Structure 1
Amino acid sequence: MSIVPLLKVNLIGVLDDKDRVLEAAQEFGNLHLIPLTSAQKELEAVPAGRGREAAEALRWLVDSPAQRRPVTHPEGFKLDEVVSEALKNKKALKDCEDRLARLDKRIQDVEPWGEFSFSDLAEIGEYRLWFYIVPNGKLKAIDPSDKILETVHRDKFRSYIVLLSPEEPPVSAMPVPRIHVGAEPLSTLQRQYEDTAVELEELDLARQALTKWRLMLAQNLAAARDHSARHRASLETADVERVFVLQAWARADQMSGIQALASELGVAVVAEAVSEEDRPPTLLDNSRAMEAGEDLVEFYQTPGYRDWDPSAVVYVSFVIFFGMIMTDAGYGLLLLLLLFLFRKRFAGSALGRRMFRMSVWLMVSTTAFGVATGSYFGVTPPDGSLLAHLKVLHLKDVDTMMKITLTIGVIHIVLANLMRAWHERTLSGRLQPLGWCLVALGGLATFLGQGTVMASAGPAGVVAGLLLVGFFGSDRKVTSLKSGGLRVFDGLAALARIVNIFSDVLSYMRLFALGLAAASLAETINSLSGQLNHAVPGIGLLIAITVLALGHAINIGLGLIAGCVHGLRLNVIEFFNWGLKDEGTPFRPFKKEETRL
């Protein structure tokens, strides 16, 4: 794990060659461009173009359930026409689905009334039809002596009644408000439904036919975005008369490749070391096994260029914390099986492959802690069995679990301070973290070693650590009474963080609390399903299985959320608070966009 050393590279060439140089630099794909001039006004003046529409059309075609074989040659491909047809198809298909849903609802509403059509008012003596759906329990409330009524349909719960009257009956005439059936007969609605269903199939086929252009559309969209990126970069170079300067950050170990590229393009290259005034971007470099840690770190904060790379520590601790929160071997094995079944879904991108490897380790950790706590879908293995012998942690033993989680918290924060001290350059920057290490370890020794020699050594460690922090609160030199007073103030301000270290260590108790909550909920689900099975003979078994499946599914979902949120939070809040000094910006290479479908 490391932060890659960078150099500031200047490519200097003739203005006529700038477009060619930018295209080659984009093809090279390892330069983080430094804007030398502001191009915001020029970019705001450029019309938005059809990039968003093309992206929407591509997503519509890629999401199609049925796909045709993609065309790989540009012959016959017209970008504007394909985008327009895809978006027109999307709108028409959505409208058709909505119309079909409305017709289906209308048919369900009209079906109980049967096939009818409204006659001319003159033919029925100027009488109109008023429709009511009356619950059977309210039929006695209807007085038929002064009304012309006809019950056209009745089911177990409702009666469908037509009332004839020249004017709309008063609200009190019927026990329920009237409903609107509509003027179209049932047969007309059914014919419209059939025609709409056929239209929907034709639109689906048209969408499927358009999917043959998805690869060409993706390539054109990527090319358009590449062109837009080059246009922006062109506006941000320094142009003086007939010369331009393209400045960028580059990996120090790639200078030979950059020099070869410059020689091939016929431009000059000047490399500069990072100065104290520079704030270079941060490029993290980890082994394949730990590279997912970079995603975890950059999800919240990118470390500064002069700081250190916490990716490996965050990755390992996140896997451990996640397992402690889920802590059920049954859940871990089930999710491992699901990962195996859907492994091909992750293989389409580098990010997906990294997430798959990390997910496997998260489930292995969950299984391991589940075995250690003796939890298998909330069931404890019987005494004397092999699995019972593997149970070494008891979640309901509050004192022991508190000691374990607080010890983990102290180790985590001490590790953060040690890494901070190792990478600091000033005396104060190195000794303050060491002082906080003594405070944390001394406090832990006092808590764990009650009644032993360790308990007496703990307070001494706390006092020594606080003295170290207070004395080296800053690197300010004492040259006068004023500077001496400021030095004392700095020391007192540094000591104020004792509240932070106390609260941060206590935050790790959430590992025990969430693990206990998940295990208790699993036991409760099992107990509830067992009670339902015995309480309701016969169908009780089906109800119990349903409760068991839904209950454990909800518990797994809650465990996944808690494991990700709190497992990551302990790293990016508590650990980063003590381990990292500066926040940096990520290294964003100027490169061509990949075509992904």
Structure 2
Amino acid sequence: MRVDVKKFLFIGIKEERGAFFEQAQRLGLIDFIDAPADASAHKLEPSRHVDAIKILRGMPPEEQLEIADLSPATQIADAILGYKKELDLIEEKIRVTRLEIGRIAVFGHFDLNEIQDLRERGRRIIQFYCGKKGVRERVSGQQYLIYIDSDHGLDYFAGIHSTQTSYDGLVEMKLDRTLDLLQQDLIAAHDEKQRLEKALHAMAVYSQYLHRAFYAELNHNELKRAEGKARPVLEGSLFAATGWAPANRIDSLRTLARDLAVHMEEVAPATNEMAPTCLENENLGRLGEDLVGIYDTPSNTDKDPSIFVLFSFLLFFSIIVGDGGYGSVYLGLALYIRHKYPLLKGAKKRLLNLFTLLCVGCIGWGLLSSSFFGIAVSPDNPIRKVSLVTFLAEKKAEYHAVEKDGTFQKWVKQYPTLHEAQEGQNLIFLGYTENNGVRNYGLLATLTDQILLELALVIGVIHILLGLVRYLPRNPPYIGWIIFLAGSLLYFPSYLQAPSFINYWWGLPLDRGGAIGLQLIAVGIPLAIVLAVIKKGVLGLTEAMNLIQVFGDVLSYLRLYALGLSGSIVSATINDVAALLPFLLAIALIAIGHLVNMLLGIMGGVIHGLRLNFLEWYHYSFEGGGKTFKPLEIKHL
């Protein structure tokens, strides 16, 4: 529900300034407005607590300490950051040491002191070289050059000379530390790394404590920032602050102002000043509000679309996934997450609730469409008794049988078993072909595809009609498009000679429905244009162009059918191929194939389920471009 907000001016003595903002934060109802001169004067420094919390997230979970005093939190965060910095340095040292060991390991174990003694007493210099593999043949004639070994695509040499000597194709290597010393350094570095990791693991008991400290710091900073929005008046003896507050909570504000001797006065918004949008939702409405926030914030004159978006998204997601078996797997995952993380709060808890709701929706649509893991459901399966698609298929088959039209005659030629139909029998279960004792119910499959296609279009029309009706008082031309869409539902089945559920379920004759629909279309389009001209003048003539927009938006809902069909084809194909493979390969194919298909279903359901709301539906019932209402409030963990 969207709540209107009003702008208020608060004036009080400077001694009450701190108390006023503290009480306002506890109340959580005022969105304070920046003072013009100080709009960017209260920037917050990044919190060290956040960096420390991120580090502890990678630690194994530990039983948390309950500490009431938050004052040591900064020192604890600094200690964690210090350990992490030392750990990063020691890991870099280990990396560099390993590289150095790899560089000189080919020369084996030797003592640099002996090399230095040989240089001083024997007047001989020992030098080390490397070159590209194959350079050995080029320098084989050098009598003072000794080939050591080849490794890493390089040839290694040692030379004994009376003076510094260089060779063409060789690079001299400087060895500052021996292999033994480097290996000792590596062992010591690993020991130090283990010590630091244990120290960090020991700090994991402060994770919740640092979270509480972070929120306390965040609330303190937000309070100081809000205080900075107040302006001194009368040479600083008073303070003045302005802010937005919900119109349905003004009594609480007046009580706050009266207790602190602060004067509160409603003021008019400045020219071109945009009031924030305040949405107040609970339970399912709050889930819908989260979805609405993904795309845009409603304007301060929009109706709250949260509930509409939630249930529309639930329906679209369920149709796109289109499989009750997949929904069962999703639900199992949701229940596991609930068991694993029972203390989730806030946005994470709402996200899990939304996921659970979508799982139930997928199972429900799977029952209505008799779709589970791409497995064909037999006619005598109890699921068929609750299947909406099966029910509509029966009605459609009965309609064509009664009419004895060309469609039914075509069925009879394709499925001779229909001749055996007796009164009261379901025709859809007689329209089959048999191969090696396996029945293929082709008539039911054909009718199912047709009905799913029809449902996608009908759902699209109903969805857009809801948007048009919601904003009809603001846009009178919408009445014309409402009539046009209603007429289209009646006319196009007659024009295409493809009866819809209005004909075969509700009993409206096809030709009569077409005649009524054509009349409604003929009335709806001109009516929309006339009402637009009355409202906008000559510019209202452009309303005729919305015909393409409305028609195109309805056709866009065909993606529900297309995506659901593609998922069912993939799942059925996986099952068919797996039936031809050995047992273990079949199990692997089924597991991997269905997992990929489930992931694709989630992607398609989220993207296209939201898209139909945010693009097609919002076009008729959403202005957007609003500013979120952000009151000064105490944020909790």
Do the structures match in fold with TM over 0.5? yes
Structure 2 CA distance, aligned partners of 1:368 and 1:336? 12
1:577 corresponding residue in structure 2: 619
2:288 to 287, 293, 306: 293
1:568 to 604, 610, 624: 610
2:405 corresponding residue in structure 1: none
Structure 1 CA distance, aligned partners of 2:231 and 2:77? 37
Structure 1 CA distance, aligned partners of 2:591 and 2:133? 39
The AA in structure 2 aligned to 1:470 is: I
1:483 corresponding residue in structure 2: none
Q: Any conservation in 1 of the 2:326–2:372 contact (CA below 8 Å)? A: yes
| Structure 2 unaligned residues grouped into runs of 5+ | 160-165, 391-443, 498-509
How far residue 503 of structure 1 moved from its aligned partner, in angstroms, is 1.4
2:323 corresponding residue in structure 1: 328
Q: Any conservation in 1 of the 2:31–2:629 contact (CA below 8 Å)? A: yes
1:240 corresponding residue in structure 2: 233
1:204 aligns with 2:200: no
Secondary structure in 2 matching 1:421? coil
Q: Provide, for residues 534-593 of structure 1, a one-character-per-residue CA deviation record: whole Å limited to 9, x for no partner.
A: 4xxxxxx44443333222222211111111111011111111111123542222111123
1:448 corresponding residue in structure 2: 493
Return closer, same or farther for 1:24/1:522 CA change in 2, 3 Å cut-off. same
1:413 aligns with 2:467: no
1:500 aligns with 2:549: yes
1:473 aligns with 2:518: no
The AA in structure 2 aligned to 1:498 is: L
Secondary structure in 1 matching 2:532? coil
Return closer, same or farther for 1:125/1:73 CA change in 2, 3 Å cut-off. closer
Return closer, same or farther for 1:199/1:587 CA change in 2, 3 Å cut-off. same
1:82 corresponding residue in structure 2: 76
2:567 corresponding residue in structure 1: 518
1:61 to 37, 56, 63: 56
Q: Any conservation in 2 of the 1:53–1:83 contact (CA below 8 Å)? A: yes
How far residue 161 of structure 1 moved from its aligned partner, in angstroms, is 10
The AA in structure 1 aligned to 2:482 is: C
Residues 8-23 of structure 1: pairs in structure 2 closer than 5 A: 8-23=7-22
Structure 1 CA distance, aligned partners of 2:259 and 2:27? 12
Structure 2 CA distance, aligned partners of 1:577 and 1:468? 20
How far residue 292 of structure 1 moved from its aligned partner, in angstroms, is 0.3
Secondary structure in 2 matching 1:13? strand
Q: Provide, for residues 470-492 of structure 1, a one-character-per-residue CA deviation record: whole Å limited to 9, x for no partner.
A: 1111555xxxxxxxxx72x3222
The structure with more radius of gyration = 2
In terms of mean alpha carbon deviation, does 505-514 or 7-16 score higher? 7-16
Q: Provide, for residues 149-204 of structure 1, a one-character-per-residue CA deviation record: whole Å limited to 9, x for no partner.
A: 99999xxxxx9997768698979xxxxxx9x9x99888766655543332222112
1:35 corresponding residue in structure 2: 34
| Structure 1 unaligned residues grouped into runs of 5+ | 135-141, 154-158, 172-177, 477-485, 535-540
Structure 1 CA distance, aligned partners of 2:531 and 2:86? 71
Structure 2 CA distance, aligned partners of 1:474 and 1:239? 53
Secondary structure in 1 matching 2:265? strand
Secondary structure in 1 matching 2:628? coil
1:460 corresponding residue in structure 2: 519
Residues 584-595 of structure 1: pairs in structure 2 closer than 5 A: 584-594=626-636
Secondary structure in 2 matching 1:306? coil
Structure 2 CA distance, aligned partners of 1:59 and 1:29? 28
TM-score, normalised relative to structure 1: 0.78
Structure 2 CA distance, aligned partners of 1:448 and 1:109? 79
The size of the alignment, in residue pairs, is: 548
How far residue 28 of structure 1 moved from its aligned partner, in angstroms, is 1.3
Q: Provide, for residues 497-548 of structure 1, a one-character-per-residue CA deviation record: whole Å limited to 9, x for no partner.
A: 22211111111111111111112222333344444x34xxxxxx44443333
Structure 2 CA distance, aligned partners of 1:78 and 1:358? 35
In terms of mean alpha carbon deviation, does 219-228 or 247-256 score higher? 219-228
Structure 2 CA distance, aligned partners of 1:507 and 1:454? 24
Q: Any conservation in 1 of the 2:131–2:169 contact (CA below 8 Å)? A: no
TM-score, normalised relative to structure 2: 0.74
Return closer, same or farther for 1:226/1:384 CA change in 2, 3 Å cut-off. closer
Q: Any conservation in 2 of the 1:71–1:212 contact (CA below 8 Å)? A: no
Residues 316-355 of structure 1: pairs in structure 2 closer than 5 A: 316-343=311-338, 344-345=340-341, 347-355=343-351
How far residue 133 of structure 1 moved from its aligned partner, in angstroms, is 9.6
1:438 aligns with 2:431: no
Secondary structure in 1 matching 2:466? helix
Structure 1 CA distance, aligned partners of 2:217 and 2:320? 46
Secondary structure in 1 matching 2:224? helix
Structure 1 CA distance, aligned partners of 2:104 and 2:478? 77
Q: Provide, for residues 50-92 of structure 1, a one-character-per-residue CA deviation record: whole Å limited to 9, x for no partner.
A: x33332123323543243633514387262x434322222222
1:92 aligns with 2:137: no
Structure 1 CA distance, aligned partners of 2:533 and 2:86? 68
1:231 to 220, 224, 228: 224
Secondary structure in 1 matching 2:41? helix
2:592 corresponding residue in structure 1: 550
Structure 1 CA distance, aligned partners of 2:149 and 2:572? 55
Q: Provide, for residues 266-319 of structure 1, a one-character-per-residue CA deviation record: whole Å limited to 9, x for no partner.
A: 112224699998743222233423320111112212222222111111111111
How far residue 494 of structure 1 moved from its aligned partner, in angstroms, is 1.9
2:539 corresponding residue in structure 1: 490
Q: Any conservation in 2 of the 1:118–1:183 contact (CA below 8 Å)? A: no
Return closer, same or farther for 1:163/1:16 CA change in 2, 3 Å cut-off. closer
In terms of mean alpha carbon deviation, does 324-333 or 2-11 score higher? 2-11
How far residue 372 of structure 1 moved from its aligned partner, in angstroms, is 3.4
Q: Any conservation in 2 of the 1:77–1:216 contact (CA below 8 Å)? A: no
In terms of mean alpha carbon deviation, does 413-422 or 210-219 score higher? 210-219
Q: Any conservation in 1 of the 2:73–2:210 contact (CA below 8 Å)? A: no
Secondary structure in 2 matching 1:89? helix
The AA in structure 2 aligned to 1:349 is: K
